[in-house]
Amino acid sequence: MVTASSLLNTWSVVNPSLTSPNKPRRVKRRAGMAFASVGSSENPCLGIKVTHGQGNLPKVILTSSHGSEAELYLFGGCVTSWKVANKDFLFVRPDAVFNGQKPISGGIPHCFPQFGPGPMQQHGFARNMNWSIVNSENVEGNPIITLELKDGPYSRSMWDHTFQVLYKVTLDKRTLSTELKVTNTDQKPFSFTTALHTYFSASVTGASVRGLKGCKTHNKDPDPKNPIEGQEERDLVTFPGFVDCIYLNAPSKLHLDNGLGDTILIENTNWSDTVLWNPHLTMEASYKDFVCVENAKIGQVQLEPEQSWTAIQLLSVA
């Protein structure tokens, strides 16, 4: 696993437009990973800045010409902030650590190649690894950045496969879109499950999700190890207490009322399932301030060598 300190010492020009044409370009690659240089001179019109975040971890700031802003950390490939009109619609827990050793608790963490518990550590390893920047562009004032994750000794100690994951993040005036593409670069097939564990800022007593009525459910309350199968009968799903429920074959559009006066449209392509989660009193310090609405792929995705799987999430403020 590449450490945060080694990442800060790694320089790479991942896109010529990220570097001032009047300054020399320095390129160095380490462990097969390329990183944009922290504190380098970027073209401000791109709306992309690489800087130091909490815990001195490398952070990318995306700024749209329309005024919206997003932040993501290369550790975990984790989007931690999405602001429209200076209001942040994502939530990072107060107990989150930024030490490059534990996953960042909040924003949009990755669950890959395993959602939940299983033969490897909880939610897999993608949220515990450094991602690299492989491309950036700006389309009509909207910054776009693509991150990459590849296998290494750390991942292969848990999951002995070679792979490539590309994560494209696009910021628009009132939308944040992410495209996840998993490619099997191995010589043998593999399977995986995955999710985007999105934390939304919310008032939990007023939050609700519309669009899940009729879905088959696996409810992990009260016993996470023995989910209760059922069917959602409510038009509006609320968070009255501990909530940990999987909705299978969920619709491609959901509406989240965050209880703070905002409605967020959650759209997706190829994320077949939805997970709702709120820890209630098991996380007393912060449970009132967020809800998780997670796009997920609960069933195994099987990929033959050179095959790819792609899923898109689009978040919009109504």
Query: Is the per-residue pLDDT at 10 higher than 70?
Result: no
Section 139-145 average pLDDT: 96
pLDDT at position 225: 87
Mean pLDDT for all residues in the chain: 88
CB atoms within 10 A of CB 13: 17
Query: Is the per-residue pLDDT at 14 higher than 80?
Result: no
42 classed as catalytic: no
Q: Which of 161, 294, 304, 306 is flagged as catalytic?
A: 294
Section 27-45 average pLDDT: 37
- Is 20 among the domain residues? no
Are residues 60 and 136 in contact, defined by beta-carbon separation less than 8 angstroms? no
- Is 279 among the domain residues? yes
- Is 6 among the domain residues? no
Q: Which of 69, 197, 280, 284 is flagged as catalytic?
A: 197
**What is the domain range of residue 312?**
48-317
Tens digits of residue pLDDT in 203-261: 999 999 999 999 999 999 988 889 999 999 999 999 999 999 999 999 999 999 999 99
pLDDT grade for 146, boundaries at 50, 70 and 90: very high
pLDDT grade for 43, boundaries at 50, 70 and 90: very low
pLDDT at position 28: 25
pLDDT at position 11: 26
Q: Rg of the Cα trace of the chain?
A: 19
pLDDT at position 41: 39
- Point out which residues pair with 79 in neighbouring strands: 72, 108
52 classed as catalytic: no
Structure tokens at 317: 């403020």
Q: Look up the pTM and report it.
A: 0.88
CA distance 40 to 27: 12
Section 300-316 average pLDDT: 98
Tally of domains in the chain:
1
pLDDT grade for 129, boundaries at 50, 70 and 90: very high
- Is 222 among the domain residues? yes
pLDDT at position 269: 98
- Is 27 among the domain residues? no
CA distance 187 to 198: 33
Q: Which amino acid is at 80?
A: T
Query: Is the per-residue pLDDT at 30 higher than 50?
Result: no
pLDDT at position 224: 84
- Is 157 among the domain residues? yes
- Is 12 among the domain residues? no
pLDDT grade for 90, boundaries at 50, 70 and 90: very high
Query: Is the per-residue pLDDT at 4 higher than 50?
Result: no
Among candidate residues 52, 53, 50, the one with its CA nearest the CA of residue 61: 50
Query: Is the per-residue pLDDT at 44 higher than 60?
Result: no
pLDDT at position 163: 98
**CATH number of 249's domain:** 2.70.98.10
- Is 41 among the domain residues? no
**Degrees (nearest 5) of the Cα angle 257, 262, 267?**
60
